[in-house]
Amino acid sequence: MKKNNSRRGFLKKATLGSAAMSSAPLVFAGSYEEKIVLSRTYETFNYAPNDQINLALIGSGIQGIYDTTAALKVAGVKLVAACDLYNGRLDRAKELWGEDLFVTRDYRKILERSDIDAVIVATPDHWHKKITIDALKAGKHVYCEKPMVQQWQDGQAIINAQKTSGKLCQIGSQGMASLGNEKAKQLYEDGAIGEIVMLDFYNDRYSAEGAWQYPIPPDASPASIDYDTFLGSAPKVAYDPKRFFRWRNYKDYGTGVAGDLFVHAFSSLNHIISSHGPNRALATGGLRYWKDGRDVPDVSITLYDYPKTDNHAAFNAAFRINFIAGNGGGGGFKLIGTEGEMDVSQNAIKLTRSKLGMVPGGYSMIAYTEATQEKIRQGYAAQNLETRASKLNTGTTTWEAPKDYKGGHYDHFYNFFQAIRGKGKITQDPKFGLRAAGAALLANDSYYAKQPVDWDPTRMKMI
């Protein structure tokens, strides 16, 4: 359904007392500021042991542990196995989830087990395609961490494997199913910001950990790490623990800031405005500070063009990452429209509506005589460009998740497991995942080519 892009329609819905009332409170109360608590209902059910969804983790690193922790909060899910190429992580898995947990360094042993219903793929990016396809072919449902692929050309293979297998595949941009995204989508479709003209996304960091300089354990060695398997399809290089534990710093295994951070923003943006994505990108940046052997930039700025569609006007998006931000760090995701703006996060939405100034002020009038100024003022007044209603209906409304909200990460897994049980649909299937990853990875293509790149968001391929 096409959204109503006019404030008039947005306000009319609210004054009629419809479901949109929660989207536009106090619309005739003048300039205002207020807060509203968001809510969501979850199904509660006590599952018998034989009704559990048996889960396995492939890649028990940082994100794999966070994923599994969120997944196990969902009722009726049991972790039965974990895989990693570093022995210490297998020890940590047992420490977290029990000594009876099956652990292995060979993910194929996970897929051979008939008692496993679903797997989390939280490996380095260059392994996503291979393991996800193997898991689908083995009859497992798959939760694959973002970005879905390291190279956009690999995406269709996962899409086809999912269709052929008949199993479900959820791509893991965890903010997708959050309360914040849900509310932002409703507000946008109600016309709360009018026509979108700009997306402003940034992520500033000011720590070694934030710049992916993760600690290397003292027992790291060729004996405790299956380094050759880690390399996989990447170029063969001598054992280097930095490459294994800090793989995000190398384009042989990761996707830089685009695949790690941009893809989250594209997932949310495309979901909120019902878009297939941008059709052009221009990136710049460089390695400014963390010169530790990495070959990806630590400062990145990318500009994207979105074409006009039935669901949104043509607009621009600015994506900025700074891993050496002396301001101490922070982030933002802001949709800016012709009639307002939304600051969006997983837990909150801040909607601001302002009055568009249409009548000239003192700055542009100073060059005219007093008599001419008066005639100009009278001419504008006769046009009634700034109505009383436009002056009154301005202000800020913030929707916030309740204190006991389990978070967008939980919601994304809840959606995944509900879909497995036949009680809903996947929120981020492989086709959606490729559109988000493909758009993000345009930044890398443009940066290394040192020129703009064009993308077909419908067919999901570069032009």
Domain positions in the chain: 7-40+177-407+427-462, 49-172
Beta bridge mates, 172: 145
CATH class of the domain comprising 49-172: alpha beta
Residues (pLDDT < 50) of the chain are: 1-2, 5, 7, 12, 14-29
Beta bridge mates, 350: 343, 398
**Type of residue at 100:** D
Residue with token string 């922790």: 69
205 near 248, Cβ under 8 Å?
no
Pairwise CA distance, residues 57 & 80, whole Å:
9
295 near 177, Cβ under 8 Å?
no
79 near 65, Cβ under 8 Å?
no
My answer on whether omega of the bond before 147 falls inside 30° of 0, hence cis, is yes
The CATH number of 7-40+177-407+427-462, from 3.90.650.10, 3.40.109.10, 3.30.70.260, 3.30.360.10, is 3.30.360.10
Q: In the prediction, which pLDDT does 439 show?
A: 97
Residue 308 backbone dihedrals phi, psi, to 5 degrees: -65, 135
Q: In the prediction, which pLDDT does 10 show?
A: 59
Q: In the prediction, which pLDDT does 316 show?
A: 98
Q: In the prediction, which pLDDT does 359 show?
A: 85
**How many other C-beta atoms can be found within 10 angstroms of the C-beta atom of residue 118?**
22
Q: In the prediction, which pLDDT does 154 show?
A: 97
Q: In the prediction, which pLDDT does 24 show?
A: 43
49 near 25, Cβ under 8 Å?
no
Helix pair angle (128-137, 155-165), 10° resolution:
10
Q: In the prediction, which pLDDT does 16 show?
A: 34
Q: In the prediction, which pLDDT does 25 show?
A: 44
Single out the residue of 344, 320, 334 nearest to residue 204, CA to CA: 320
The strand pair at 118-121 and 141-145 is best described as parallel
**How many other C-beta atoms can be found within 10 angstroms of the C-beta atom of residue 431?**
18
Contacts with 42 (C-beta within 8 Å, 6 or more apart), sequence order: 414
**Type of residue at 247:** W
- Pair of tokens at residue 38: 């968001």
